[in-house]
Structure 1
């Protein structure tokens, strides 16, 4: 960090909170953010985050242990708030003394924040905040830091762009709270801008998805390298009764199949065969399966190629350390020019 004094100074609060050299988090990407990529990011001075996704407590237990075997640096775990075994997953994180738990996918259920912060090995809680009102509520409810993520991001997204969220929320919150900015960040110049606005750090997912240490299938990575920003499109909600959070991914045959899946699930709701919670879980399981086909099996036609709009900036495989160094160097150059 001594090589990047201006960036380091602006990142200091975030880096101190995370316990990492830089305040660059890796967004949790199911099937991608596993032991190899997470440990590589933490070892390179960033902050890796395991994507628990639909894992069982037993699987998460093994994944945390395997990550610990590859790094002695801090890393976090991302948990989906609607997971039926959420409190068991929290207990697994406590067992391994995970220092930071990221809660994603909705408002944390009652008692979850307290469970994370109140055990024998209390952890810091990071939450996603799509609006200013919800950000304030989450902070009052015990969140130690927030991620504000714009619609340019890959995977599950909200309706507002990163640049607008940053302008709306950083002036209100950043002085007294730790706010990380995410969504569409692919270069260090953007990082410099958000840090100057008061962000404690940033989160990037797509930029790391095709790193050399990422286990993603070669065909998955090739699809990213060929794509432009406009190829990463948001899914369409078919039925207003089925509150499907839009997902940004590269357009392919799988995008069309998801539309058909929504119609199928909506039909079961019509017939009152399942409850709304079960309907949402079916959609989540669909995404988990489709994403696995793309990331692990290399099925780039019918699998889900979740990608942010920064995908157009990816042209080749690079080591994680080189990516972080490039981002920091670009940020420092931008701050120096100013």
Structure 2
């Protein structure tokens, strides 16, 4: 028995699946979830995940190598399903014997899950509906993340609490399911574990960790923000399959509205097809996010943040964040 006995017991399936001390995954945040933060989270007992984002295969190759030099603990790689080089990126993961691959941003293309499982990796997927979740699990996915609209970055339309009530009773008995979106404290973790979750995923809580390479001004913007400041983007053109993005409201969110109009005009003129239109939207977010995270341009860049941002007040080492979350969860369970 340990001081975290109750939480660890409820996390047993998730801990075994990830190969970690605690079943706490870090959500993949482009420009933020790189070698420094990923290794710190894994070394702290959690599960770090490299955000491949728009990386080329060569860049991902270098990032995995650099992360391995900083930790001997398990970590994963998040790949965007619409990436034009997805097949090559999967091959890079295979070359490094990556243990877990997260497929995000849409339904996995035909053959992608099979290609990952060829080298023995476990596949983690997202699903916005219960029917799709069941289909993906039947098709070979090993675990599922259900992410509510409170999360930062690309989001779905349904809250975490509602998704948990719908998905967990139907799936948690037979499958590994992680809950994400709006989680900032251990009490919430305890609640989802009691509902049947195998573990949780947090992004915003780790974005301002001491090991995060995010610019100091980016972090200060998070510390000043309230939950209501993290707003979802609006889709202007019904033809554009734009997934809403939650971020702190600034000039960058307004510029996204302008970008949508520009891409809509290109569609009208036949200068781009729908696939290219969506890629242009994604490239906008990648560029805007870099402005904020790396350059510290908090006015024009994208400050992707979940609604739990209001709970962030200071920099803390990733290991301390994990330890605090686990202690809060255990205290909550002991009070039951």
TM-score (ref. length: structure 2): 0.99
Cα offsets for 1:265-322 (capped at 9, x unmatched): 0100001111100000000001000000000000000000000000000000001111
What is aligned with 2:124?
126
Q: Any residues of structure 2 matched to 1:127-276 within 5 Å, and which?
A: 127-276=125-274
- Choose the corresponding residue for 1:281, options 276, 279, 282: 279
State the alpha-carbon separation in 2 of the partners of residues 2 and 293 from structure 1. 44
State the alpha-carbon separation in 2 of the partners of residues 170 and 224 from structure 1. 31
What is aligned with 2:94?
94
Q: Any residues of structure 2 matched to 1:41-80 within 5 Å, and which?
A: 41-80=41-80
Bigger Cα displacement from structure 2, 201-210 vs 128-137: 128-137
RMSD value, Cα: 0.6
Q: Give the aligned length.
A: 336
State the alpha-carbon separation in 2 of the partners of residues 148 and 58 from structure 1. 30
What is aligned with 1:326?
324
State the alpha-carbon separation in 1 of the partners of residues 287 and 253 from structure 2. 13
**Paired residue secondary structure (2:300):** coil
Cα offsets for 1:29-64 (capped at 9, x unmatched): 000000000000000000000000000000000000
State the alpha-carbon separation in 1 of the partners of residues 239 and 169 from structure 2. 35
**Paired residue secondary structure (2:277):** helix
What is aligned with 1:26?
26
Bigger Cα displacement from structure 2, 1-10 vs 196-205: 1-10
TM-aligned CA deviation for residue 122 of structure 1:
1.6
State the alpha-carbon separation in 2 of the partners of residues 289 and 157 from structure 1. 19
State the alpha-carbon separation in 2 of the partners of residues 216 and 2 from structure 1. 35
**Paired residue secondary structure (1:148):** strand
**Paired residue secondary structure (1:122):** coil
The answer for unaligned runs of 5 or more in structure 2 is: none
The answer for unaligned runs of 5 or more in structure 1 is: none
What is aligned with 1:311?
309
Cα offsets for 1:71-125 (capped at 9, x unmatched): 000000000000000010000000000000000000000000000001xx32000
**Paired residue secondary structure (1:213):** coil
TM-aligned CA deviation for residue 3 of structure 1:
2.1
**Paired residue secondary structure (1:102):** strand
State the alpha-carbon separation in 1 of the partners of residues 249 and 3 from structure 2. 40
State the alpha-carbon separation in 2 of the partners of residues 302 and 4 from structure 1. 43
**Paired residue secondary structure (2:177):** strand
Q: Any residues of structure 2 matched to 1:2-21 within 5 Å, and which?
A: 2-21=2-21
**Paired residue secondary structure (2:42):** helix
Cα offsets for 1:229-277 (capped at 9, x unmatched): 0000000001000110000000000000000000000100001111100
State the alpha-carbon separation in 2 of the partners of residues 312 and 32 from structure 1. 19
State the alpha-carbon separation in 2 of the partners of residues 13 and 31 from structure 1. 30
State the alpha-carbon separation in 1 of the partners of residues 2 and 135 from structure 2. 37
TM-aligned CA deviation for residue 2 of structure 1:
2.2
